[in-house]
Chain A
Amino acid sequence: MSEKLYNNLLFQSIFLMSFLILVGLLIPNWLVFVITKAIAYGLVGLGIITLMRGGLVSFGQGFVFGIGGYTAGLLGTQAGLTDAMLLLFVSFLFTGLVGLIIAPLLARYRDIFFAMLSLAFSMVLYGILIKIDAIGGSDGFVLPESTYFGIKPSSEYADYVLYVVAIIMTGFISILLRYYYDSTPGLIALAVRENELRVEYLGSSAFNVAVLNFTIAAGLGGMGGALNGIALGHIDPEFTYWTTSGEFVFISILAGYLSVPAVFLAALLLELVRSFSGRYFPDTWQLILGLFLILSIIFIPSGIGSFFKQFFDRLKKSK
């Protein structure tokens, strides 16, 4: 194996994806489901760290998470579209388009104003969804079982097949995002985070950076919502509720904005904490989660991603 291949991002990612797909065959079904959910939440978190790289944090990603979930659900129930890959892709595109439409309004605001405006969008959507009885109101509705290239997997393997699809689609999206982060526009976004005025005086638009990043975050959020809906087989207005949005912010803070894999690890940690505390400490999982967040902020303020970055930086230096 040449050193060049070893250092190749695409090769590393395909290796990791293959490993995770194989691992999925060895782990229990409940863990496959938990990881799939973590991927769904991680996609939304990935959108938030894309925004964070440009100096913005959204408190209302439940808005796009919900739109993505309802898009997949309504396409399944109303249009008979059940192909999971197609549903994920269409949800990504549609929610990205919604994001592109509202981004010019949001991009005019910064800091807490941006965060609260995004939260306001999610609350408006929540308020609308619980009132529409035709799509289940506050109970939501059940999604039809998913197919893959026209084939419906047996119930025994349904979770695993969705897990594989989620790993592959998310893997390639993560690669594209890593390329974007390392590109010139990706670096300009980091510069906006540090000093927006200087970026303008260097001839670039901080507004355009915010629009682009919000659109990406919306697409990712929509895809995450669709994946979550397909995994659960159910969608309801809770997808857009402010506590759901808070969980995405939790994932992003825990992960930091330096590493893509860290977001999925943070999402997995959230899911595991939720699962185990739900089982062993019923009705107190928010307490566990809160303590977990306090410790994270105190001891790893730059997030799990900072460990990853330090590790890879040391690896490069040692070479």
Chain B
Amino acid sequence: MSKQSLLRAENVNKSFGAVVAANNININIDKGEKVSLIGSNGAGKTTFMNMVTGYLKPDTGHIYLKNEEITQLDPRIITQKGISRSFQIPQIFEPMTAWENLLIALGTSQKKHSYFKNARSKENGDFIDEILNRFALNEFAHRQVSELPGGVRKLLDIAMALVRKPDILLLDEPTSGVGAEEKYPLMDTIAKALSGQGLTVIFVEHDMDIVQNYSDRIIAFYQGAVIADGNGSTVLNDSNVKKYVTGKTEVKAKL
């Protein structure tokens, strides 16, 4: 365990009947790391993410955030302690505008609430405008989110998770459902919005080009177990990763 250890999973196991979704997982993630989780469908990436955020509880093992055990805590408490997440299918409040979605995200992050003060205050508005600006969402601010394109909905979902200023941000397939030509602009916007905050980012991704370009560490999963963990070139050239994850004979890392 390093001094900067932020998130630690120790001997974590999880099964759904006969299916082993997490097989003795040991992962240590330091502050500021940009980590991608790769693996084929059903490899255990999302199960790991769901256990870290409290949606699923491990059968055995322990998960620590800043050396405090969070294994059995509920998602709400884990969020309050510093882990936020976005979703593969954006979980946003459909009948509301993007601005209102962020207002609610801001409201949930505030420790004290007044029951008789209008939430649409200038102070809150300025903060939301800054977030919208950071994610290049200004032009969509007052549009109902159900009308917004997929990439914008993804950005809004991530922006909502970021409002709380978490220590760790988990992104579940940030580019899924987005057209090939939109992926890089989307990831550039996300990377720019997250830069300079010392934020630890963990993201699940299937696109290996995205993985290589936007993460400084890759963890590969196969049948619930971690089969490789390291920098891009090491992991993507690992024989097991080639065999079970990428299906490629040789990968030239861009990092």
Q: Which residues of A contact B (CB under 8 A)?
A: 176, 179-180, 182-188, 190-191, 194-195, 197-205
Question: Bound state CA distance, A187 and B80, in angstroms?
Answer: 19
Which residues of chain A have C-beta atoms less than 8 A from B167's C-beta?
none
Measured between beta carbons, the chain A residues less than 8 angstroms from B80 are 203
A203 adjacent to B95 (CB under 8 Å): no
**Which residues does B use to contact A, with CB under 8 Å?**
53, 74-76, 79-80, 84-85, 91-96, 100, 103-105, 107-110, 113-120, 160-161, 163-164
**Among candidates B91, B107, B113, B117, residue contacting A201 with C-beta atoms closer than 8 Å:** B91
Determine if B115 and A202 form an interchain contact, defined as CB atoms under 8 angstroms apart. no
CB distance from A219 to the nearest CB of B (A): 14
Nearest CB on B from A4, distance (A): 14
Are B119 and A186 in touch, CB under 8 angstroms?
yes
Query: How many CB-defined contacts (below 8 Å) exist between A and B?
Result: 90
Asked if B116 and A203 sit within 8 Å, CB to CB, the answer is no
Given A183-B118, A191-B93, A191-B104, 17 additional A-B pairs, CB 8 A: A176-B116, A183-B115, A183-B117, A184-B110, A185-B107, A185-B113, A188-B107, A195-B91, A195-B92, A195-B93, A195-B94, A200-B75, A201-B84, A202-B84, A202-B108, A203-B80, A203-B164
Closest to A199 in B: B108
Measured CA separation A221–B80 after assembly (Å)? 35
Contact of B104 among A182, A187, A197, A200 (CB under 8 A): A187
Most chain B beta-carbon contacts within 10 A, residue among A185, A195, A198, A201: A201
Chain B residues with CB under 8 Å of A188's CB are 104, 107-108
- Known pairs A188-B107, A191-B104, A204-B108; A183 contacts B75 (CB<8 A): no
With A187-B103, A203-B108, A205-B76 given, is the CB distance from A197 to B116 under 8 Å?
no
B13 to chain A, nearest CB (A): 24
**B53 contact set on A, CB distance < 8 A:** 201
19 interchain pairs (CB within 8 A)?
A179-B115, A180-B115, A180-B116, A183-B113, A183-B118, A183-B119, A185-B115, A187-B103, A188-B107, A194-B93, A194-B96, A195-B92, A200-B74, A201-B75, A202-B79, A202-B105, A203-B109, A203-B164, A204-B107
Closest-CB distance, B27 to chain A (whole angstroms): 21
